[in-house]
Amino acid sequence: MIDHRRLGRELELFVSDPLAGAGLPIWLPAGAAARHAVEEYVRDLERRAGYRHVYSPPLGKRELFELSGHLGYFADDMFPPMRLSADDEFVLRPALCPHHALVFRARGRSYRELPLRIAELGGMYRAERSGVLGGLSRVRAISLNDAHNFCALEQVGDEVREILRLIREAHAALGVRPAGFRLSLRGPGEKYVGDDAQWARAEELLRAALDGVDYQEAPGEAAFYGPKIDIQIVDAAGRESTISTIQLDFDKPERFDLSYTAADGSRQRPVMVHRSLVGSMERLFAYLIEVHAGAFPAWYAPVQLVLLPVDDGQAEVAVDLARQAEAAGLRVDVDLAGSLGARIRDAARRRIPYVGVVGSREAAAGLVSLRLRNGRGLDPMPVADALGLIGAVVAARSPDLLPAG
Ligand SMILES: [Zn+2]
C-alpha cells in the first residue's frame, strides 16, 4: 500500500523528528518547493476571484478566544493558555476566524463592499493526542488555506456557487478526486444559534447552490452555528476526511457585533462564510503524495528537470543549460556523479518529470534529449524548444508531460 509517510521520507519531502515533537513535521526543501508552488497557485486563484489576503498572528489574547466562543466550546482541543503575567494570557489559535472578524471590524462597512472576502494561508494549532498523529495527515501545527466571506444572507447562494467553482478548479489542477459532497443540516434540538427563518433560508440557498451536484444530506451534522457543505476524500488506507469546506456562521457575527450599513441606511448583521478550497497544506499533501504516488504534476514537482551530461566533457554545457532553465522559472538540478544509467534510475526514483541528457553530439549542436518520467524519450531538440515544451506544460498546470495538441 502507498503510504505518504514512507514516500515522504524516500523523496525527502518532510521529516518528523521526535525532538521537535510528534505532529510537528518539518518540510524539507523538496516538500517546501512543492508546497510553495501550490500556495502560490491557490493565492493567485483567490486573488483573481476577488479575495483580499491578510496576515494575522497564530496566537492572541485569551479574551479574543473567549469572545469567539473557542475557549467555551473547544478548549479540550486547544493548547493550554500561556501566562506572561497575571492579566496577560495568550492562546495558540485553533482557528483563524477571530482574527478575520477583527479585520471586518477594523472600520465601518457598507453593503457596497459585500461580499467581503478575507483570505489567509495561516497557522493554527490543535492539541491532538500523540496516539492519533501520523506524518502529515494528523498534525498539531496546521497551515490552513482559509477565508471568511462576509455577505448578506441573500448573497449566500451566489457566493457558495462561486466557491464550489473555485474548489472544482483547484481540485482539477492538483489532481484531487473527491469521494463525495455532504450537506450538513440542522437536526432536532435547541443547541443551534440563529432563528428558524434564517436557518431555513440558509439551507434552501445551499441546496440551490448544489443544484446539479451529486451530494448527500446529513441531518443533525451541522455545526451549532450554521449549515455546511463538506467535500470528502479517501486516503490510501480507506480513511475518509474533509478536504474542502463551506460553513455558514450566524454566531460569530453576533459575538463580534459585526455590522454593515445597508442601502436604506439601517445597520445589518452580515453572515460569515468560512471556506477552505483545499484544506490544510498538511492534509492536502498527505493526500497528494499518495494519490500521485509521489509523481506530482510537473507544475508542482519539487524538481521539474534534471540535466545529465553523458560525461565530464558536457558538464559545463549542462550547467549553462540549467542556468537558462532557472532563468525561465523552472526548478532544475544537474547530476554529475556516477554512471548515466544510475543517474537516470535516480531521477526516476525521485519522480522527476523531465530528464535532459546532453551527450557530445547534443552539446556541439545546442541540443538536448528529453526523457519523460513515463519512460518515453523524445528526439534531440534545440534547448529553447525543450524549455518551451516544459514551460507550456507547467503554465497549463497540465497533468500530462507533453503540451496539448
Ligand atoms: Zn473560520
Taken in order of first residue, the domains within the chain and their CATH numbers are 4-58+93-291 (3.30.930.10), 298-395 (3.40.50.800)
Percentage of the chain exceeding pLDDT 70: 100
Q: How confident is the model at residue 336 (pLDDT cuts 50, 70, 90)?
A: very high
Residue keyed to cell 521526535: 18
Q: How confident is the model at residue 134 (pLDDT cuts 50, 70, 90)?
A: confident
Q: How confident is the model at residue 195 (pLDDT cuts 50, 70, 90)?
A: confident
Beta bridge partners of 24: none
Mean pLDDT for 391-399 is 97
Does residue 257 register a pLDDT over 90? yes
Q: What are phi and psi of 345, to 5 degrees?
A: -65, -40
CA 14, 18, 20, 26: dihedral to nearest 10 degrees?
0
Strands (E), 109-220: 116-125, 141-151, 180-185, 215-219
Q: How many residues does this entry show for the chain?
A: 405
Q: Grid coordinates in use for 332?
A: 532544475
Q: How far is the CA of 113 from the centre of ligand 1 (A)?
A: 20
Cβ 216 vs Cβ 180: under 8 Å: yes
- Starting from the edge strand earliest in sequence, which strands make up the sheet with 367-372, in order? 332-334, 305-309, 354-358, 367-372, 381-382
Q: How far is the CA of 71 from the centre of ligand 1 (A)?
A: 15
Buried b (16+ CB within 10 A) or exposed e, 299-318: bbbbbbbbbbbbeeebbebb
Q: How far is the CA of 98 from the centre of ligand 1 (A)?
A: 8
pTM: 0.95
Q: How far is the CA of 196 from the centre of ligand 1 (A)?
A: 22
DSSP state of 76: G
Does residue 1 register a pLDDT over 90? no
Mean pLDDT for 284-292 is 97
DSSP string, 110-138: BGGGPSEEEEEEEEEE----GGG-BTTTB
pLDDT value at residue 282: 98
Q: How far is the CA of 57 from the centre of ligand 1 (A)?
A: 15
Q: Grid coordinates in use for 310?
A: 553523458
Does residue 212 register a pLDDT over 80? yes
DSSP state of 355: E
Cβ 298 vs Cβ 394: under 8 Å: yes
How high does pLDDT run on average in the chain? 95
pLDDT 10s digits, 26-53? 999 999 999 999 999 999 999 999 999 9
Cα angle 335, 339, 340 (rounded to 5 degrees) comes to: 65
* Strand (E) or helix (H) holding 41: helix 29-48
pLDDT value at residue 191: 78
Q: How far is the CA of 101 from the centre of ligand 1 (A)?
A: 9
Does residue 83 register a pLDDT over 80? yes
Q: How far is the CA of 100 from the centre of ligand 1 (A)?
A: 8
Residue with the bigger pLDDT between 330 and 130: it is: 330
At residue 238, the 3 state secondary structure works out as coil
What is the C-alpha to C-alpha distance for residues 124 and 92, in angstroms, rounded to an integer?
7
Mean pLDDT for 135-139 is 93
Q: How far is the CA of 252 from the centre of ligand 1 (A)?
A: 9
Percentage of the chain exceeding pLDDT 90: 89
Cβ 155 vs Cβ 116: under 8 Å: no
At residue 376, the 3 state secondary structure works out as coil
